[in-house]
Structure 1
Amino acid sequence: MIGDLMGEFPDEIERGKLINSGYEPRVLDELIYENMEDFGAVCIEGPKYCGKTWTARSLSNSEICLLDTEGAFQNQELARLSPHQALQGSHPRLIDEWQEVPSLWDAVRNAVDRSGKQDTFILTGSAVPRKAKPHHSGVGRIEKIRMRPMTLFEAGKSSGAVSLQALFDGQKPDGSPLAVTLENLCDFVIRGGWPAVQNMELRRASRLARSYVRQVSEDDLSRVDDVARDPQKISRLLHSLARNAEQSTTTKTMIRDMTANASNEALSKETVDDYLQALRRIFVIEEIPGWSPNLRSSIRINKRPKYHYVDPSLPAAILGATPQKLLGDLNAFGFLFECLCLRDLLVYAEVAEAQVRYYRDNTDLEVDAIIESYDGKWAALEIKLGHSQADLAANNLLRLKTKMEAAGTESPAFLAVVEGLGQSAYVRDDGVYVIPITCLAP
């Protein structure tokens, strides 16, 4: 099913010799190959455990791993002393965790230049180096692609009946989702999209997210740039971000959350900003920027970004969510469900070369997601856990449409309510689409 929707590689393209028999195709596979062909090299960035290396191996014919437990020291030493030697091997060549030796970036860029893109590379990285940065940006030679944990479609939990790209092309939504219950949605949120846990019992699968959060607090955030950071402060910041999930939160609010206990020391804005930047560098959080429809528009919008966890399992783990707790607190469940939907929308939008934003103006009109295509088309989406909220969400979307058209902005390609428990995808009488998340695909 996934392969059918993503399309097949041309006959002359031989998938990598390192491909593993258990590899499940990802929606980014074809985009990665196309960009490698167009640019010569691609850099797959994303959080640990999201499947970067597994995907890169399926498209590579040789590799060097800089964090290999058996050869890491030798590989890193070779890369530092002779980057050229580290690049030797059948192409496409995978350089896994390249950020451990940042000079490899420039070496790859030069190799692509010298060979006229005959030498091709895939770099993977779970952190952005802060020190010893490459000398060259890689523009025109190395294209960056963001990988996130698996979407519901990739995990086989969406029928794929409705394509985001097809909606932009003018197709109306029509089709049935995979039938799910509220308990199933709890599972999707708590389990998350980590490839390694998709077939595990939920009780065991949830350990990965809890371990992930603990590792971020105790090690990863200091290791990323060798700057010591207080694990307790990191933990309090992660909790604040989880508590305010999918909201445009000010640094002032985070500081208040982090110092609510009288025993907690005061924090400066600079400290919190530094911690946020470090979390972005290891791809744990992303900034969803505010959408501005027209540079000359008179509409005053909120430009403060929303902080989005890369996978809903992380805020769920931080908040101690269980299926029982989520079913007893549908408000919190709703925000975590929004995190899940945004994860999927970000992946589907990347395949379509589109950007995901959100909208909020000075009248407090707010829309959860604005997807803006590379050709200027835009769509507005509201995310709701249950179908009973569809009327309210549709009215909100129509208010935005009216306001944008009055301000001279092009009409949206479509308006849609993305919901958790819908029975089918259809078009309402007012023209707003209703699309269950379990039938959405790229």
Structure 2
Amino acid sequence: MEYVPRIADGQLLDRLAALGAVVIEGPKACGKTATARRRAASEVLLDVDVEAMRAVAVDPRLVLDGPSPRLIDEWQRGPRVWDAVRRAVDDRSVPGQFILTGSATPNDDAARHSGAGRISVMRMRPMTLFEQGYSTGQMSLAALMSGEAPDATRSELTLRAYTERIVVGGWPQLLGAEPKVAMQFIRDYLETIVEHDIDVVSGARRDPRLVRRFLHAYAQLTAHPARLSTIVARAHGGDFESADEDAGGLTRWSAEPYLRALRRMMIVDEIEAWSPSLRSRSRLISLPKRLLVDPSLAAGLMDCSPERLLGDLNTLGFLFESLAARDLRIYAEASGGRVFHYRESSGDLEVDLVVEQADGRWAGFEVKLGGDLVDEAAAALLHLADTRVSVAPSALVVITGTEYGYRRTDGVWVLPLGCLGP
């Protein structure tokens, strides 16, 4: 299959020029290896090379020999590789020596910190609409943040097209695939996680039945800042008492290892709460907004086809927010930014997504599938900027699933997701 350029390509080049090694982390099948291979001069694949794994067990330095940059794929299968790479980077004192890819973060996070100043860690996710060719990219996030955005945009994506993009997802293997084919891919992908991967990553046998229940409940709370107890209660049909008791084997305490393992596999991809410098005394919710790394996983867990989503606009709205969050995160992180959510404990004000740059610039985003809630969304954004945050925003944007993009008289942008780019 022909390689489709990724936003991560530029990030990888920049990091290779700066440090001795780069680690590309991301969920399985998001395209890490293909991206790394574009820049690697040699490679060793630890997930398929039995002899290489034996060599790692004896002396991990044995797999480091080869032209640079040398790709070490699925490095977490041989954790001793990390220290060997770190030492080799010190000894060579030349940037761009190694590219490591991994579909699970190490259990001992302290090991990764030992690579500070030597090894750069970057995150990859499935493909954005822009990378897939479905977004025009007319409205660049970078341009929005710098006040240079165009006055008007137009997207040809229909509501039906957005539902298909949600169901198919951003998996490189599914470029051009029909929803029916994609749904089978997602079922198989999730089955592998439930039956095998979660056991390997957590180092213990997990009950697949309970993992499925947990994931299904998590998917139902997509784009919500829900407590773990709320997720478990949802798995028990909304019974909060069962979240504390061993009803069927799933409790808040037994679910915690599932959540940790899913985070390490980067299947769960939560958005942290924003803590800006506030003008007011408003108390903010600190819970993360619950999201899976791609909306297709949530759709698959709920067995949603495009037709089913079109008949359930409430669920479609939350999955559309998940789609927007995935893309916005990738665009923001490409320029060193981060994405948060804002919600007050009182419920008086919430904003779906906030992009914050390292220099303190920020932009607020509300996500609305249709155009009928644009006025309400714009009011929330203006309220946040005018009464809550002491730093003026670079942009206030309502992301929609509609056709036309424009700037309102109050300064708020209305932007079709199918026009957004990096």
Common fold by TM > 0.5: yes
Q: Residue deviations 1:375-403, cap 9 Å, x none?
A: 01111000011122211111111111122
Change in Cα spacing, 1:403 to 1:23, as seen in structure 2 (3 Å) is same
For residues 206-355 of structure 1, the aligned pairs below 5 Å read 206-260=183-237, 264-294=247-277, 298-355=281-338
Q: In structure 2, how many angstroms separate the alpha carbons of the residues matched to 1:160 and 1:357?
A: 22
Pick from 69, 72, 76 the counterpart of residue 53 of structure 2. Answer: 76
Deviation at 1:223, TM superposition (A): 1.1
Task: Identify which range, 112-121 or 409-418, moves more after superposition.
Answer: 112-121
Q: Is it true that 1:25 corresponds to 2:5 in the alignment?
A: yes
Secondary structure at the counterpart of residue 306 of structure 1: coil
Change in Cα spacing, 1:386 to 1:34, as seen in structure 2 (3 Å) is same
1:154 aligns with 131
Deviation at 1:119, TM superposition (A): 5.7
Q: In structure 2, how many angstroms separate the alpha carbons of the residues matched to 1:119 and 1:127?
A: 22
Q: In structure 2, how many angstroms separate the alpha carbons of the residues matched to 1:351 and 1:35?
A: 12
Corresponding letter in the other structure for 1:376: G
Answer whether contact 1:358 1:367 (CA < 8 A) is retained. Answer: yes
Pick from 412, 422, 433 the counterpart of residue 403 of structure 2. Answer: 422
Q: Residue deviations 1:274-294, cap 9 Å, x none?
A: 111110000101121110112
Q: TM-score, normalised by structure 1?
A: 0.90
Q: What is the percentage of aligned positions where both structures have the same residue?
A: 42
Answer whether contact 1:46 1:125 (CA < 8 A) is retained. Answer: yes
Deviation at 1:264, TM superposition (A): 4.6
2:47 aligns with 67
Pick from 3, 8, 18 the counterpart of residue 38 of structure 1. Answer: 18
Q: In structure 2, how many angstroms separate the alpha carbons of the residues matched to 1:136 and 1:255?
A: 33
Q: In structure 2, how many angstroms separate the alpha carbons of the residues matched to 1:252 and 1:171?
A: 44
1:109 aligns with 86
Deviation at 1:183, TM superposition (A): 1.0
Answer whether contact 1:190 1:206 (CA < 8 A) is retained. Answer: yes
Q: Is it true that 1:357 corresponds to 2:334 in the alignment?
A: no
Pick from 49, 53, 58 the counterpart of residue 29 of structure 2. Answer: 49
Q: In structure 2, how many angstroms separate the alpha carbons of the residues matched to 1:266 and 1:230?
A: 9
Q: In structure 2, how many angstroms separate the alpha carbons of the residues matched to 1:91 and 1:187?
A: 41
Which of structure 1's runs of 4+ aligned residues deviate more than 6 A? none
1:7 aligns with none
Change in Cα spacing, 1:132 to 1:256, as seen in structure 2 (3 Å) is closer
Answer whether contact 2:272 2:341 (CA < 8 A) is retained. Answer: yes
Number of aligned residue pairs: give it: 415
Deviation at 1:415, TM superposition (A): 0.4
Give 5+ residue unaligned stretches, structure 1.
1-20
2:117 aligns with 140
Answer whether contact 2:16 2:95 (CA < 8 A) is retained. Answer: no
Q: In structure 1, how many angstroms separate the alpha carbons of the residues matched to 2:162 and 2:387?
A: 34
Secondary structure at the counterpart of residue 415 of structure 1: strand
Q: Residue deviations 1:1-45, cap 9 Å, x none?
A: xxxxxxxxxxxxxxxxxxxx7111101111111111111111000
Q: In structure 1, how many angstroms separate the alpha carbons of the residues matched to 2:286 and 2:202?
A: 29
Q: In structure 2, how many angstroms separate the alpha carbons of the residues matched to 1:77 and 1:236?
A: 37
Secondary structure at the counterpart of residue 276 of structure 2: coil
Q: TM-score, normalised by structure 2?
A: 0.94
Deviation at 1:113, TM superposition (A): 1.1
Change in Cα spacing, 1:106 to 1:327, as seen in structure 2 (3 Å) is same
Corresponding letter in the other structure for 1:189: I
1:431 aligns with 411
Secondary structure at the counterpart of residue 261 of structure 2: helix
Corresponding letter in the other structure for 2:53: Q
Q: In structure 1, how many angstroms separate the alpha carbons of the residues matched to 2:33 and 2:91?
A: 26
Q: In structure 2, how many angstroms separate the alpha carbons of the residues matched to 1:149 and 1:65?
A: 21
1:387 aligns with 371
Q: In structure 1, how many angstroms separate the alpha carbons of the residues matched to 2:169 and 2:265?
A: 18
Q: In structure 1, how many angstroms separate the alpha carbons of the residues matched to 2:135 and 2:291?
A: 22
Q: Residue deviations 1:94-144, cap 9 Å, x none?
A: 000000001111111111111112561110000112269738621011111
Pick from 375, 387, 393 the counterpart of residue 412 of structure 1. Answer: 393
Give 5+ residue unaligned stretches, structure 2.
none
Secondary structure at the counterpart of residue 397 of structure 1: helix
Q: In structure 1, how many angstroms separate the alpha carbons of the residues matched to 2:154 and 2:68?
A: 40
Deviation at 1:295, TM superposition (A): 7.8
Answer whether contact 1:290 1:360 (CA < 8 A) is retained. Answer: yes
1:178 aligns with 155
Change in Cα spacing, 1:118 to 1:178, as seen in structure 2 (3 Å) is same
Q: In structure 2, how many angstroms separate the alpha carbons of the residues matched to 1:112 and 1:294?
A: 40
Answer whether contact 2:342 2:351 (CA < 8 A) is retained. Answer: yes
Q: Residue deviations 1:185-218, cap 9 Å, x none?
A: 1110000000001112221122111111121111
Answer whether contact 2:202 2:257 (CA < 8 A) is retained. Answer: no
CA RMSD in angstroms comes to 1.9
Secondary structure at the counterpart of residue 294 of structure 1: coil
Q: In structure 2, how many angstroms separate the alpha carbons of the residues matched to 1:81 and 1:286?
A: 35
